[in-house]
Amino acid sequence: MEINDLVKSAVNGNDDAFYQLVSCKKDMLYRTAFSYAKNREDALDIVSETVYRAYISLKKIKEPRYFYTYLNRILINTAIDFLRKKKDTAEIKEDILADKAESESYIDLRNSLDSLSGDYKAIIIMKYFQDFTLKEVAEVLGCPLGTVKSKLHKALSILKLDLEEGYYE
């Protein structure tokens, strides 16, 4: 079944259609949530909340072909909300040494990525971790393609500078 048909069916109350839509993107949802949360439990909570929010707001979808754009935007907002709430209640604890397979450069990249603000971080994650095109990133963020390109350039400059500083320290 085509995505437009699945979305229309889900909007009309077909839970199986919604399940099919979400299950084919579950890995992408988890990877994105994990890139924000940095641990399995929180990432799973974010994905669960995202699926719930998407389900209860299905009727708001005007263009079925943008369902995954809509779902990804909900995921990013949910992750940001989740981290903001978590930060408000307690300091975020990250055990970097838990996974000994992580290289030092990967840890540095993650730390630099965490230092980026809102849209910059979202653009880098969607472009390089989810393989979105810049046009798709612009659709998700609801801004012009030129803005995404300039923010991507700025984010890459910030990351490069941050990583070079860490290298020479």
Q: What is the per-residue pLDDT for 15?
A: 92
Alpha-carbon distance of 113 to 116, in angstroms, equals 5
- In 3D, which of 143, 36, 20, 155 has the Cα closest to residue 7? 20
**Phi, psi values for residue 87, rounded to 5°:** -70, -35
Confidence at residue 105, expressed as pLDDT on a 0 to 100 scale = 60
15-59 pLDDT, tens digit per residue, is: 999 999 999 999 999 998 998 888 899 999 999 999 999 999 998
Q: State the pLDDT at residue 157.
A: 87
pLDDT at 158: 86
The whole-number pLDDT of residue 47 equals 94
Q: Looking at residue 44, what is its pLDDT?
A: 93
For the chain, give the secondary structure using H, E and C. Answer: CCHHHHHHHHHCCCHHHHHHHHHCCHHHHHHHHHHHHCCHHHHHHHHHHHHHHHHHCHHHCCCHHHHHHHHHHHHHHHHHHHHHHHHHHCCCCCCHHHCCCCCHHHHHHHHHHHHCCHHHHHHHHHHHHCCCCHHHHHHHHCCCHHHHHHHHHHHHHHHHHHHHHHHHC
Q: Which of 11, 59, 9, 49 is nearest to 29 (CA)?
A: 49
Q: In this predicted model, what pLDDT tens digit does every residue of 68-102 receive, in sequence order?
A: 989 999 999 999 888 887 765 544 344 434 444 45
Is the confidence at residue 164, as pLDDT, over 60? Answer: yes
| Per-residue model confidence (pLDDT) at position 93 | 41
| Closest alpha carbon to 72 in 102, 29, 106 | 29
The dihedral sign for the CA sequence 100, 101, 106, 112: negative
Domain boundaries, the chain: 1-94, 95-169
Take residue 67 and report the two structure tokens written for it.
């369902």
> How far apart, in whole angstroms, are the C-alpha atoms of residue 111 and residue 145?
27
Dihedral angle of Cα 102, 105, 107, 111, to the nearest 10 degrees: -160
CATH of 95-169, one of 2.70.98.10, 1.10.10.10, 1.20.140.10, 3.40.50.10800: 1.10.10.10
Q: Does domain 1-94 have CATH number 2.70.180.20?
A: no
Over residues 111-146, the pLDDT tens digits come to 778 778 888 888 888 888 888 889 988 988 888 999
- Most confidently modeled of 46-50, 108-112, 156-160? 46-50
| 151-160 mean pLDDT | 88
